[in-house]
Chains A and B, each alone.
Chain A
Amino acid sequence: EVQLVESGGGLVQPGGSLRLSCAASGFTFSSYWMSWVRQAPGKGLEWVANIKQDGSEKYYVDSVKGRFTISRDNAKNSLYLQMNNLRAEDTAVYYCARGRASYWGQGTLVTVSS
């Protein structure tokens, strides 16, 4: 059974940093692109970033370029999102997703507020 479990969310002040993690199991992690998708409270879905199987290609939505970094550790079956210089508009539930969003985790809430 495919499982994606996010962690690392929480309350952070504007300008602060957080690192999200996603632990994957039930499939060959190193064979898939992986993505982060977010959902602001009461809003729709927004793809944030994704990373190729070997980490050689990474793509970001414009609003997070230069502030967020996606990475992965295939030996640990883990996906990460380093978020720096956080803004209020980054407040959202962040989901880890496999490939073209075939499977999703349960999400982790990031709240940016003073």
Chain B
Amino acid sequence: DIVMTQSPLSLPVTLGQPASISCRSSQSLVHSDGNTYLNWFQQRPGQSPRRLIYKVSNRDSGVPDRFSGSGSGTDFTLKISRVEAEDVGVYYCMQGTHWPLTFGGGTKVEIK
């Protein structure tokens, strides 16, 4: 199975400041169809996960443009340009290239 490793585990951020989360996969996530199925999810306290980013860098509908995804191969990053109070929660990366789908362990974003 593909292992997804996220860092950091916890990310205290000052409101209005940027934040960055790293996700590394144990194998390349480039699918045979040429796509890289790396998604990012946000899970606010008490809520279901919500997809923010799909195929590395595509924002889902309604996702603020302060969220951006980048990366390739095995190294990926989620960036929040200016953290707002509503961004508090746990962020997960997930690979959808290889079965079984696997998730990173999560990064908890909190306000300092």
From A44, A102, A104, contact of B103 by CB (8 A): A44
Kindly state whether residue B39 has any CB partner on chain A within 8 Å: yes
Interface residues on A, range: 10 to 19
Q: A44, B41: Cβ atoms under 8 Å?
A: no
Complex contacts, A46 vs chain B, CB 8 Å: 103
Given A35-B101, A101-B39, does the pair A45, B94 have CB atoms closer than 8 Å? yes
Label chain B's interface by main secondary structure.
loop
Interface residues on B, range: 20 to 34
Q: Compute how far the CA of A34 lies from the CA of B102 in the bound complex, rounded to whole angstroms.
A: 15
Complex contacts, B71 vs chain A, CB 8 Å: none
Q: Which residues of A are at the interface with B, using a C-beta cutoff of 8 A?
A: 35, 44-47, 50, 59, 61, 95, 100-107
Q: Which residues of B are at the interface with A, using a C-beta cutoff of 8 A?
A: 37, 39, 41, 48-51, 54, 60, 92, 94, 96, 99-106
New A-B contacts (10) at CB < 8 Å, excluding given A101-B101, A104-B50, A104-B51: A35-B101, A44-B103, A45-B92, A47-B103, A59-B99, A95-B48, A101-B94, A102-B51, A103-B51, A107-B48
